[in-house]
Every structure is written in structure tokens, then in C-alpha cells.
Amino acid sequence: MSATTTETSVSTTASATAARPEHQSRAQATLAIHSGQEPDPITGAVVTPIYMTSTFKQDGVGGLRHGYDYSRSVNPTRDAFDTQLAAVEGARYALTFSSGLAAIDVLLRATLKPGDAILLGDDVYGGTYRLLAKVFVPWGVRVDVVDVTDTAAVSAALSQRRYAVIWVETPSNPMLRITDIRATAAIAHAHGTRVVVDNTFASPVLQHPLEDGADAVVYSTTKYIGGHSDVVGGAVLLSDEATRDEVAFLQNAAGAVPSPFDSWLDIRGLKTLALRVQRHSENALAIAQWLEGHTDVEHVWYPGLTSHPGHEIAARQMHGGFGGMISVQLRGGAAVAKAVAGATELFTLAESLGGVESLIEHPAAMTHSSVAGTALQVPDNLLRLSVGIEGVDDLIADLEQAFARARVA
């Protein structure tokens, strides 16, 4: 396949994935089910087929059917997901990847160069920090860490140095800190700095960073968008065409694309996202309130609690709930936290989040072990809960019995 052919097909996809403005007035739930999901023109299949093909027949050299030539560059199932996700986000473009980290890597490599600097929130997914510290820093990109929830600190940092990008997770992983996206974007843009929001915890149902001024949004679609703990994927959402083209070029050049089956699972997940997130949020709020009154608990971090320092911002910035993630610090310390994580029956001890089933993990030893000894280190008495959509009374009973067993042990 010639480079020219690849570039041609990538730009064809650009027009295919741009959300059609005439449909943007529809409800997000409608867009999730119908955008990019037209019945198959040949068979009438209501569900987008899994186009499990690496390559496409050409009608004479360069005679591509609808721009399809090779599945690293373009694939109809991936296109269907890109179109659906762009519409749900209200972005012009979605580009989907083989993992959340692949999406982050390609977005940053496409938009940064050696000598640039990035300002990173001081509470982010450990893998994001590892990618920056172990891959981007040796490549020549400077990484500085700031409490991104503190707009005065952000302002001071941006006044001292030119940063190409400020990286925001809100709610952050794992401390559930809340950053005011609108205020951060205003400060950043005044300094010519782009704002990227990792919106994985909130999902496009609860939070719309592009509307609030962010320049790009990333997702691990492995989490709420896939929603069933059966697919690893990622996405970059943006509306600026030039940046989209740079990201699309590197995605094709480097090749971290999802399989058609991955895209199909993400399409199915996204259709029910709004319903699931509503239930995740209701369950999590009830559990957070219960945890707050528990004698074994030192502190609960959940943005839906009025005691949370970012509650007012979250109430304004998140729409219809505060999500399914809770972090909780236990009075008994690391040993008790680990004992609780090992004693739950419905909460499965596992990394990841956002699936229908509840998960529990010990960030210091699991998802965030790579930030030990850095400014992002997390407390070792911390447990992170990904609250599923089971019956909430059963989940509370499970935590209660786990606390009791950990106390005895």
C-alpha cells in the first residue's frame, strides 16, 4: 500500500467521523443509539456488522469503495464507533485506539515535540504518569506536576514557563479530586497552553469538557464506555481539524488501532452508557454516604458528598450524577485496607473500573504502584471502589462483612 493511498483514505474517514450538525439537537441518548448506526445497506442488519477484514478489494488500482483500503487506516466498524462517540461527546472528531494509553500516547506524540513542556495534575492514573516519566521525559519533553485543582497554582506555573499542554483528570484517579475545567481553560488559553481532559471517570454522560473549553478529551473506553470489562480501548475527541489530522496521521503511521470486534463491543457499550452511569452514580452516592458514617473509615473521597472539597464545582460541572468511583481511607492502615480488599465477595479484587460489576483495589500496591516515591504517591490506607450496578443493599452488606472480617483478622 502506498503512502499516498493511506493518506487519501485517512482523510476520507475524516469526513465520515465528523458529527453531522443537523443531528446535534437530538438527545445524547438518541445519538448514542443512532449515530453511525444506520442499518446495513445490503442486508438491513440493524446492528453494525463486525467487519473482520484486514483489507478491501479495490475496483482497479486506487478504486476504493467508500475510501476503505486497509484496516489499520480505516475499518467500517471502527468508523461506526468513531461517529457514534463523536456525536455523544458533541465533538467534530473521534479517533479510537487499541487502549486508553495508546490514545494518550498518540495525542501527545502528535502534538508535542522534544523541548516542549507539559503540566500534569498531581493525581492521575499511574500509567499516564509512567508513560510521561519513562517515555516522554527521555524523549526530551519536560514534565512538571501541579495541584491542578488550585487555579492560583496553575496560574503561577503557567506564568513561569511556557507549557504546550496542561493535563487534567477530573474526577482524578484515584483521589477523586475535582478541577474546574472552565476556569483552568481560561487561564491556560491566556498563556497559549492547550487543555487536555481525561474524562474516563465521568464519561461523556456526566461531563462535557469540550463545551467547558478543553481542547481535547481522552478516554479509556475500557471503562464506562465499554462498560462490561470485556474490551480494552481508548479514544481522542476533539473539534480542531488540524490537530485531528496530526493525530490521525500518527495513529495510522504507528498503528495502535482497535480490532473491529473491540469497536463492536464499544458500540454496544456506548448505547447503554446513560442508563448504566445513572445507576452507577446512584449506587455510589448511597455507598459513599454509608461509608462516611462508618467507624472504621478515616475519610471518604466522593465528589457527590457535600464534605468533598470539590463538591460545588462538581455539582456545576457534572450533569446528572457524580459517577461510580469512590476512594476511602481506613483507620486501620494499609494492612486493614488490604484485608478488606481480600474479604469482599461481591466486590471483586481487580484493577480497572467502569464495568457493571463492582471492583475493589488497593491503588498503592496495584494501579498506582508506579507513582510510589513521586509527587503523585497515594496513601497506603486507601481503597478504590468501582461501584457496579448491582443491588446497592447487597453491596453495602458485602462491605460491612468485609470490614468485620478485616477487624477480626
Least distance CB 174 / ligand PLP (angstroms): 9
Is residue 93 classed as helix, strand or coil in its secondary structure?
strand
10 Å CB burial of residue 21 (0-12, 13-18, 19+) is exposed
Q: Is 134 a catalytic residue?
A: no
Q: What angle do CA 49, 50, 51 make, to 5 degrees?
A: 100
Q: Omega before 174 cis (within 30°)?
A: yes
The reply to whether 100 sits near ligand PLP by the rule CB under 6 A is yes
Among the listed residues 378, 370, 351, the one whose alpha carbon sits nearest the alpha carbon of residue 129: 370
Among the listed residues 79, 82, 89, 198, the single contact to ligand PLP using CB under 6 A: 198
**Phi and psi (nearest 5°) for 71?**
-75, -10
Minimum gap (Å) between residue 247 Cβ and ligand PLP: 16
d(CA 126, CA 108): 16
Q: Does 220 bind ligand PLP (CB under 6 A)?
A: yes
Is the Cβ of residue 48 or residue 99 nearer to ligand PLP in the bound state? 99
Least distance in angstroms from the C-beta of 237 to ligand PLP: 14
CB of 409 to ligand PLP, least distance (A): 29
| CA-closest candidate to residue 103, choices 228, 227, 239, 257 | 257
The correct pick among 99, 170, 243, 317 for binding ligand PLP (CB under 6 A) is: 99
- Contact with ligand PLP (CB under 6 A) among 68, 81, 93, 125: 125
Considering beta carbons, is residue 118 or 396 the nearer one to ligand PLP?
Answer: 118
Closest distance between ligand PLP and the C-beta of residue 173, in Å?
4
Spot the catalytic one: 51, 68, 69, 72. 72
Least Å distance between CB 353 and ligand PLP?
Answer: 6
Helix (H, G, I), strand (E, B) or coil at 142: strand
Q: Which stretch binds ligand PLP (CB under 6 A): 19-27, 57-65, 96-104, 178-186?
A: 96-104
Total residues binding ligand PLP (CB under 6 A): 14
Element containing residue 197 per DSSP (H, E): strand 194-198
Catalytic status, residue 198: yes
Which of the stretches 62-70, 99-107, 237-245, 319-327 binds ligand PLP when contact is defined by CB under 6 A?
A: 99-107
Find the part of the chain contacting ligand PLP (CB under 6 A) among 73-81, 94-102, 187-195, 334-342: 94-102
The Cα 358–Cα 74 span in angstroms is 35
Please tell me whether residue 101 binds ligand PLP under the rule CB under 6 A: yes
Q: How far is CA 339 from CA 92, 350, 399, 402, in A?
A: 47, 14, 12, 8
Chain-centre distance for alpha carbon 204: 9
Q: Identify whether the C-beta of residue 256 lies closer than 8 Å to the C-beta of residue 125.
A: no
Among 73, 111, 222, 386, binds ligand PLP (CB under 6 A): 222
- CA 355 distance to own-chain centroid: 13
State whether the Cα torsion 85-91-95-101 is positive or negative: negative
Counting contacts by CB under 6 A, is residue 173 touching ligand PLP? yes
Residue 209 contacts ligand PLP per CB under 6 A? no
Rule CB under 6 A: say whether 341 interacts with ligand PLP.
Answer: no
What is the distance between the terminal CA atoms of the chain, rounded to a whole angstrom? 63
Q: Does 225 bind ligand PLP (CB under 6 A)?
A: no
Residue 125 bears catalytic tag:
yes
Q: Which helix (H) or strand (E) holds 301?
A: strand 297-301
* Residue of 92, 194, 223, 276 with catalytic role: 223
CB atoms within 10 A of CB 340: 26
Q: How far is the CB of 126 from ligand PLP (least distance, A)?
A: 8
Under the binding rule (CB under 6 A), the answer on residue 169 touching ligand PLP is: yes
Indicate which residue of 69, 198, 212, 398 is catalytic.
Answer: 198
What contacts 288, CB < 8 A, 6 or more positions away? 300, 302, 304, 305, 326
Residue 327 touching ligand PLP (CB under 6 A) = no
3-class SS of residue 181? helix
Nearer to ligand PLP, 67 or 121 (CB): 121
In the block, which residue shows the cell 481480600? Answer: 342
Tell me the residue nearest to ligand PLP as measured from the CB. Answer: 100
Q: How far is the CB of 238 from ligand PLP (least distance, A)?
A: 17
> To 10 degrees, what angle do helices 3-17 and 76-89 make?
40
| Binding site residues, ligand PLP, CB under 6 A | 99-101, 125, 127-128, 169, 173, 198, 200, 220, 222, 232, 234
Give the catalytic positions in this structure: 72, 125, 198, 223
